[in-house]
Every structure is written in structure tokens, then in C-alpha cells.
Structure 1
Amino acid sequence: MPARSTLSRRALIGGLAAAPLLTLARGAGAKPAADLTIYAAPMTASILLARLVDSGALGAALPGASFQLWHDPDELRAAVVSKRALLFTTPTPVPANLFNRGLPVKLLAVLGTGHLTIVTSDPKIKTLADLAGKPVLGFFHHDMPDLVFRAAVKMEGFDPDKDFKLSYVGMPMEAAQMLAAGRVETAILSEPPATGAIMMAGQQGRKLYRAINLQDIWIKHTGHPIPMIGLGVHEQLLTQTPEILPLLRTGLPQAKDWVLANPQAAGELAEKVMGLHAPIVAASIAHSAIEVKSAKAARPELEAFYKTLIALSPKALDGHLPDASFYLDL
């Protein structure tokens, strides 16, 4: 195994934020490239798709597929609208919003059930009550991570705008770097940026703590986890390449098992394919709540999640739930 490399600011920001377009290894005898790009969220759950393509499990349907990270939800939305993204890992509200606005996209599976953590340098902060009145840095203002935080604190009886001093940056990697450098005390972070911030701060002699897992609050009040990360698909791909569905049905659970059983190898794969920093990804897997569940089976949890978001922001999901055809059976 390669020696653990030092985590620099460049490693965190460059490694996590980079969006290389990398053609994945093809199995022997593969047909010419199908010229399909899988658009991946910069999140640990995306390694499942990287594993499927890198191992050749999707080769019969997607020979020569390539992989590209998207940086923010608007970039992903533009790629889906333009049909550059036919298969993509995504926050689950994104395809629901596009579907409700008339685009032929569906949700195939839930791949992650909560990966947002409040990370802080203050060891006294263990509950939202401890955080009241203090500054909190967030990202993607008015989008899913912000809405999940707002929903969770409201579940606990707090007003997000009155009880916390909220500020925002554009990207989770930027928030992670600011926290690691000591420029802010507390931030809401996704994975793998939360793990990256903790590791980089440690190399600078600073200690950061995973103070509050928003997933725990959600389960406490709803009885189920947050169906946060999903696999979206454009109908054009399903029509042109219907054999992709049985390959994903078989391959995704196997990929999940491999990632959970081989975190170091999964980190190395994420670095090779996604441009993420291997040690950060390997350490983040235990905190990423990776799951594989068909969208149809997860529909009750998804609808509860969507209703919560719509209540917070009436414009979310175009103001209504998707109909049954949106939820595919993996």
C-alpha cells in the first residue's frame, strides 16, 4: 500500500474539487467507446459507479464510458437539460425538480442516506442547544444541504435564522478548508470534505470534532434516514440501452459491498477516477452512510423528505411531489 501522503491545502482543495474527465479502463475486447459520460457528485457514494465501470461490470452496456465530477447543483442541472448527463449521481431532490418541470429524468436508486455533519473546533459543542447563538458556516445556500440543516434544527425546536449566526460559501471544499485553517470555528460539511478538514487540521496540530450528525436528528424525529444521494437516469439512456438496468441491479449491491470491505482500495480508485485524495476518501467511507435501495422501494422516505423541503422552500421541486412514474424499480 502506498505511504500516506501529507494533506496540504492543495490536496484538500485541488484533490476534492478537481473535476477531471477520465476515460476508465476497458475490459479486453470492449467495443468502441459509447461516448457516454457519467456525471458524479463529489461524494463518497459516487465510488459505487466508479467501481462498476472500472471493474468492467457495465462494459456490455457502456463500453468506453467516462467519468466527470460536477461542482455544484446548477452545473449538474445544465448537463441534464442539455443531455450531456444521462446517468448521474445526485442529491435526490435534483432529478425530482427536473422531472416536475417536464424533463424525462427518473430516479433509479438511493445510494446514500445522510452525510452531513456539523464539524467544530469547540469540544463543548455536542448538541444544537450548545451551538445556539454561535456562527455556523454552510454551503449551497438555499439548496439541499442548507435545507436539510434548516429542517433538522426546526425539528429540534430552533429557528435557523434567529438561533444561529449562519453564513455561506459556494462549495463544501471551501468550507472545509476554512474550518481546517481555523478561519471559522464551526461548519456544516458533507463527505468527504468533513473528513478532509479533520485530517488536515490534525496535521496542523489542531483538533476538529464531529459534533452533530444531522442524520441522527432526522432519524430521531422521522424514524427513517435521509434519502439524500441518488442515481438519476435520463429516459434516453433507458430507451437506447435498456440492458443497463439489469447490470446496475446486479452490480450496485456488489459495488457497495466492495467499497465497504476495501476502503483503502476504494480511496485509490476515487483518486484515479474522480481526482479525490485517496486517504481522505478511505477515511470518509465509514461516515458516508452508503446504501443501495431502489427508488421505488424508497418512495415513502423520499416523499417525506421532499415534503419537508417543499415546506421550507415552496419553490423546491416546483412545489409538488413527483408522480409514481418518477420512482424506478432497480
Structure 2
Amino acid sequence: MQFNRREFLKITAALAAAGASPALLAAAKEQFTVYGAPALPSMIIAVAALQGQLAKQADVSLKIWRSPDQLRAGVASGQFKVMMSPSNVGVNLRNQGRKVGMVNILTNGITQLVCKNKAVASPQELAGKKILVPFKNDMPDIVLQALLKKLKIDAAKVGITYAATPAEAVGLFLSKDFHAVILPEPMASAAMLRGKMTDVTTVRGFDIVKAWAQAFDTKPLIPMAGIIADEAYFHAHKAQFDTFHQDLKNALAWISGHRAEAAKIGKNYLPAPEPALVAAIDGARLTVTKPSEIKTEILHFYEILMQFNPKLLGGKMPDSGFFLA
């Protein structure tokens, strides 16, 4: 909820006259903290936290985790109750005994292939190329490896170098001898923007989501990431989650019509400048979808991962209780 200074002073004066402390009143609001990923869907969460109805009831805030390992540690410690996660990580955590479940999907495919000088126009053209991939054994790498295996492209002929984070991958891609890099938005757009500033010619390569759809005969969407939550916390705060879901849908609609303003909000949370955030919106395939609405597609994605590497899901498909909404 946003107040201007005059409204704030009026409320403060009224509270003081009533003998109440504004600080104590603020402290009485329940915390509703969402731990977001360093990727564009967190901009939806940021806008919802600022503009949504839930902010009238709770102290809604967004904090960004920096790596999937930090996400896993936060869940394991019990500190993280509501968090954006690669969609396989939630299943993996649940199969390890962590009582978490899926609340929504926020992107239908966020990774982009950015190339230097000339576009890599198809997955087959990756053979003989040197490419960078952040987060080894996590979503960008999982999608690439599964795609190569399905298309019978020898992964040994693709020169893959791993970076710890997308930001590190951008720096290496622009400064070293790499043909391409796989990046989540907004870092893909940030890499292209930085390339222009440093006289490095960058172009987008083949559409990873479309290539996936053709290879696996699916709809052109990959349910890559969304919000998961501690199961007990979710059920204890069901009304708040219902409100927050609508806040997220409203936030996404607002972002679509107010891109520059959304980028000003997003820059406070994401490691990319405003122009890159604006440019990233179209390529991020943003959505706010309950898992029950696309359960078939999500389960198909998990079935593909099980065939490729069961360890990515903790060895088995999720039980029915995993889908919370």
C-alpha cells in the first residue's frame, strides 16, 4: 500500500492522538516474505508486493536468492517459506522429505540462446561450438542436456563451459572466445545490451522453447519455474495466497502495459539495467498460472526429466499433494 507524505502524516497524527505507536502497528503486521530468483519473473512478485491487495493485510516483501544451492539451504533451514524455484527443485526437495508444494508457474520458458557474430540457428549447429551455461545441473543445463539427448546430438562434441551464475556467464561470454551462452532473462537481454556498449556483435540463436516443443512433441512451453511454499504455511495462510495469486495476475497485466515503470521497480531486485529489463519481457514468457491449470504439461515435463535423469526429481515423480493450487 502506498501513501503520499500528507496522508502518512495524517495517519501518524491520528495514531499518536489515540496513544498508538505507528512503529508498533507496523510491527504487528504479519510478514509475508517471498524469496525470488535472480530472474525476470521476480519482477512480477516485486510489483505485486508494491501494488497488491495483500500488502494492505501483511508486510509483503521480496528478497532474492543468488543460486539454487542458497535456495535449497533456505528451505532446509526452515527460513524460506515462500520461494520462487526451478520447477524440478520443488519436486526434488519434496522427495527428500521437505514438505513443500507448488503454488504456481511464473514462466513458460525463460532461457535464451545468445550468440556472438552469427546465430546458432538449430540445436544441431551446437556441435563444434563453445558455449557457456550457468548453474550446472540446474534448469538451463537440464533443458540443454535433455534436448541434446533427445535429438541424438553428441554432447561430447558440444564444448560446454559452466559458470557459477548468469552474471559470470555474461562476463565470460563477452570477454572470451565463446560462440554462445544460454541465459535466463533478463541476463540474456543484458548480455546483448552490454555487447553493444563494448562493440561485441550479439544475436539471438534458435528459440529453445520451440526447439523443445518440436523435439518432444509438446506444446511450446516449458514450465521452468514458479512459486513453491512450505505446505503447512500454505494451508495456514490459504486466504493470503488466494489474494496474492490475484495480485500476481494483476501485476503481470500492469507490467505488460507499463514496461518502463515496471523496469524501474525491477532494477531494485535484478542484476540488469532498465533497458535490459524492458527488452526481456517478451522473451521471458511470463505467466501466472496455477499448476492445476496445466497439470498435464507439468507432469509431461517431469516425465521427460525422469527419462533423462531421475535424480533431477529426487528419483520419482511428485505425489498428488505436491500441487497446492
| TM-score (norm: length of structure 1) | 0.86
| Structure 1 SS opposite 2:54 | coil
How big is each residue's C-alpha offset from its partner over 1:275-301, in whole Å with a ceiling of 9 and x where there is no partner?
A: 643222111111100012111222211
Retained in 2: the 8 A contact 1:67–1:274? Answer: no
Q: Name the residue aligned to 2:107.
A: 112
Change (3 A) 1:252 1:283: same
Q: Name the residue aligned to 2:42.
A: 46
Retained in 2: the 8 A contact 1:110–1:298? Answer: no
Partners of 1:119 and 1:274 in 2: CA distance: 19
Retained in 1: the 8 A contact 2:49–2:60? Answer: yes
Partners of 2:104 and 2:278 in 1: CA distance: 23
Q: Name the residue aligned to 1:258.
A: 254
Q: Name the residue aligned to 1:130.
A: 125
Deviation at 1:249, TM superposition (A): 3.2
Q: Name the residue aligned to 1:13.
A: none
The answer to whether residue 209 in structure 2 is matched with residue 215 in structure 1 is yes
Retained in 1: the 8 A contact 2:133–2:181? Answer: yes
The answer to whether residue 164 in structure 2 is matched with residue 170 in structure 1 is yes
Residue 181 of structure 1, aligned match among 175, 180, 188: 175
Partners of 1:253 and 1:70 in 2: CA distance: 23
Partners of 1:127 and 1:88 in 2: CA distance: 34
Residue 307 of structure 1, aligned match among 299, 303, 306: 303
| Structure 2 SS opposite 1:227 | coil
Q: Deviating runs (4+, > 4 A) in structure 1?
A: 24-31, 273-276
Letter of the structure 2 residue corresponding to residue 302 of structure 1: I
Residue 157 of structure 1, aligned match among 152, 155, 159: 152
Q: Unpaired segments of 5 or more residues in structure 1?
A: 1-23
More helix by share: 2
Deviation at 1:248, TM superposition (A): 2.4
The answer to whether residue 132 in structure 2 is matched with residue 140 in structure 1 is no
Change (3 A) 1:280 1:270: same
| Structure 1 SS opposite 2:253 | helix
| TM-score (norm: length of structure 2) | 0.87
Letter of the structure 2 residue corresponding to residue 50 of structure 1: A
Partners of 2:118 and 2:316 in 1: CA distance: 41
Q: Unpaired segments of 5 or more residues in structure 2?
A: 12-24
Change (3 A) 1:165 1:123: same
| Structure 2 SS opposite 1:187 | strand
> Percent identity over the alignment?
26
- Please give the residue correspondences for 1:21-100 in structure 2 after superposition, counting only pairs within 5 Å: 31-32=26-27, 33-61=29-57, 63-100=58-95
Partners of 2:50 and 2:269 in 1: CA distance: 8
Partners of 1:128 and 1:38 in 2: CA distance: 36
Please tell me whether Structure 1 or Structure 2 has the larger radius of gyration of its CA atoms.
Answer: 2
Retained in 2: the 8 A contact 1:108–1:295? Answer: yes
